[in-house]
């Protein structure tokens, strides 16, 4: 019988997540039954959405989340010992699964050095960047895109896809190092939002022809300031609002409807798990762009299962550039 270590949720987050909101416990797993397999975590994902979706029903249960794992025992003919899979197994070292909603990773794509991309650029966040940007922002050559949270896995991919489509790209991120990183990816303008003086003036300067597309990962002041500066028929993808996730009391924003109405803006929310059929198309296109050197990605690796909380909380202080992953 195998023993797993896992993070139980101890309390619903209040403000910024605390280490004491989790507890690491051991669990003895039963023997696998016909149709099941046992998988061992290799890479675990920490994502901003985790902050949003923990509620009272999670307390006492394993923290949810995706991981890349290796099949180490199997009584399921579709998953052989030695296969690698991506599944929503949670923050745990070993998992028994029946294979439902588990992605088997194609080893010609997810080679040893690229296994972690199954959680990042060739996983849920990469699919988010591709599907949300192309379907909502519908880019046209020569148009201007503003992307917030630009140095994260989603934002950095969106900016590069926009460059591939011939757009002008302006990205906001939270440090000078991240600004340099975005410039190295080909962003036309990259701005450290923590040191700029005025967002409105920065936008006027960096977007002389106005803003046609806004891919928002951050919300809050960015959203409130950018919407009135959009061009007529502008498109806005509301994909994340990380600036709001840790707030105990929701902020009140300005009233934006006159701008939305007069400029005939299209503003659309997006949930990646409602677009599962398009994931393979996204991975194929992104894979080809990576192959051709048109799209680059970065990962911030935290070593050790015991350090998952640090990797998670680092998302809210800007510790990561690109995808934050934990090496089990
Ligand atoms: P990121 O790596 O971009 O998220 C972490 C980054 O967000 C940090 O490094 C930090 O960068 C920035 N950040 C944290 N707090 C703030 C703040 N208060 N104000 C401004 N920036 C902040 O994550 P992803 O690329 O994985 O995701 C990007 C966004 O997309 C998230 O909001 C996420 O929730 C959302 N998302 C939505 C999906 C959907 O289906 N709708 C699917 C996947 C992701 P910095 O140093 O620049 O501040």
Q: What is the mean pLDDT of residues 245-257?
A: 93
**Beta carbon of 318 within 6 Å of any ligand 1 atom:** yes
DSSP string, 163-180: HHTT-EEEEEESSHHHHH
**Beta carbon of 315 within 6 Å of any ligand 1 atom:** yes
Checking if the pLDDT of 1 tops 90, the result is: no
**Beta carbon of 85 within 6 Å of any ligand 1 atom:** no
Confidence of residue 164 (pLDDT cuts 50, 70, 90): very high
Same fold, 3-120+298-327 and 124-273: no
- What CATH number does the domain located at 3-120+298-327 have? 3.90.180.10
**Beta carbon of 218 within 6 Å of any ligand 1 atom:** yes
> Would you state the pLDDT for residue 114?
97
Q: Find the 153 Cα to ligand 1 centroid distance in Å.
A: 8
Q: How many CB atoms lie within 10 A of CB 279?
A: 20
Could you identify the residue written with the tokens 């762009």? 289
- What CATH number does the domain located at 124-273 have? 3.40.50.720
Q: Find the 204 Cα to ligand 1 centroid distance in Å.
A: 24
Query: Of ligand 1's atoms, which has the minimum distance to the CA of residue 324?
Result: 2
**Beta carbon of 178 within 6 Å of any ligand 1 atom:** yes
Written as six digits, the tokens of 275 are: 């677009």
Using one digit for the tens of pLDDT, what is the confidence trace for 208-231? 999 999 999 999 999 999 999 999
Using one digit for the tens of pLDDT, what is the confidence trace for 4-39? 999 999 999 999 999 999 999 999 999 999 999 999
Which of 209, 263, 217 has its CA nearest to residue 237? Answer: 217
DSSP string, 283-306: HHHHHHHHHTTS----EEEEE-GG
> Would you state the pLDDT for residue 250?
87
Classified as helix, coil or strand, 183 is helix
**Beta carbon of 83 within 6 Å of any ligand 1 atom:** no
* Cα four-point dihedral sign 67, 71, 73, 78: positive
**Beta carbon of 322 within 6 Å of any ligand 1 atom:** no
**Beta carbon of 87 within 6 Å of any ligand 1 atom:** no
> Would you state the pLDDT for residue 294?
98
Helix crossing, 279-291 with 153-164: angle to 10°? 70
* Whether the predicted model's global pTM rises above the 0.95 cut: yes
Supply the mean pLDDT for the chain: 97
Using one digit for the tens of pLDDT, what is the confidence trace for 90-135? 999 999 999 999 999 999 999 999 999 999 999 999 999 999 999 9
- Give, for ligand 1, the residue of 217, 238, 319 to mutate: max count of ligand atoms closer than 8 Å to Cβ: 217
**Beta carbon of 171 within 6 Å of any ligand 1 atom:** no
Domain locations along the chain = 3-120+298-327, 124-273
Percent of the chain with pLDDT over 90: 99
> Would you state the pLDDT for residue 105?
97
Q: Find the 320 Cα to ligand 1 centroid distance in Å.
A: 10
Which of 22, 32, 31, 86 has its CA nearest to residue 54? Answer: 22
């Amino acid at each position: 019988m195998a023993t797993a270590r896992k993070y139980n949720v101890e309390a619903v987050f209040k403000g910024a997540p605390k280490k004491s909101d989790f507890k690491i416990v051991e669990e003895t797993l039963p023997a696998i039954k016909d149709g099941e397999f046992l998988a061992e975590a290799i890479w675990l994902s920490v994502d901003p959405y985790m902050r949003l979706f923990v509620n009272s029903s999670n307390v006492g249960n394993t923290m949810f989340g995706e991981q890349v794992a290796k099949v180490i025992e199997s009584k399921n003919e579709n998953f052989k010992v030695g296969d690698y899979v991506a599944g929503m197994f949670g923050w745990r070292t070993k998992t028994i699964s029946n294979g439902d909603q588990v992605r088997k990773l194609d080893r010609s794509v997810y080679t040893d050095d690229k296994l972690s991309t199954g959680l990042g650029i060739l996983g849920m966040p990469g699919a988010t960047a591709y599907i949300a940007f192309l379907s909502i922002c519908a880019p046209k050559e020569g148009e201007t895109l503003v992307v917030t949270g630009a140095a994260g896995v989603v934002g950095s991919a969106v900016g590069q896809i926009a460059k591939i489509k011939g757009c002008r790209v302006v990205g906001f991120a939270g440090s000078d190092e991240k600004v340099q990183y975005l410039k190295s990816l080909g962003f036309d303008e990259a701005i450290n939002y923590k040191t700029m003086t005025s967002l409105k003036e920065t936008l006027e300067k960096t977007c002389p022809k106005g803003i046609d597309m806004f891919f928002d990962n951050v919300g809050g002041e960015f959203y409130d300031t950018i919407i009135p500066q959009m061009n007529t028929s502008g498109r806005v993808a509301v994909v994340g609002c990380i600036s709001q996730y840790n707030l105990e009391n929701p902020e009140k924003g300005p009233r934006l409807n006159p701008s939305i109405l007069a400029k005939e803006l299209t503003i659309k929310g997006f949930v990646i798990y409602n677009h599962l059929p398009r994931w393979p198309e996204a991975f194929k296109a992104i894979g080809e762009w990576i192959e051709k050197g048109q799209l680059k990605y970065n990962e911030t690796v935290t070593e050790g299962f015991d350090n998952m909380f640090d990797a998670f909380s680092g998302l809210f202080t800007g510790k990561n550039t690109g995808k934050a992953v934990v090496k089990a």
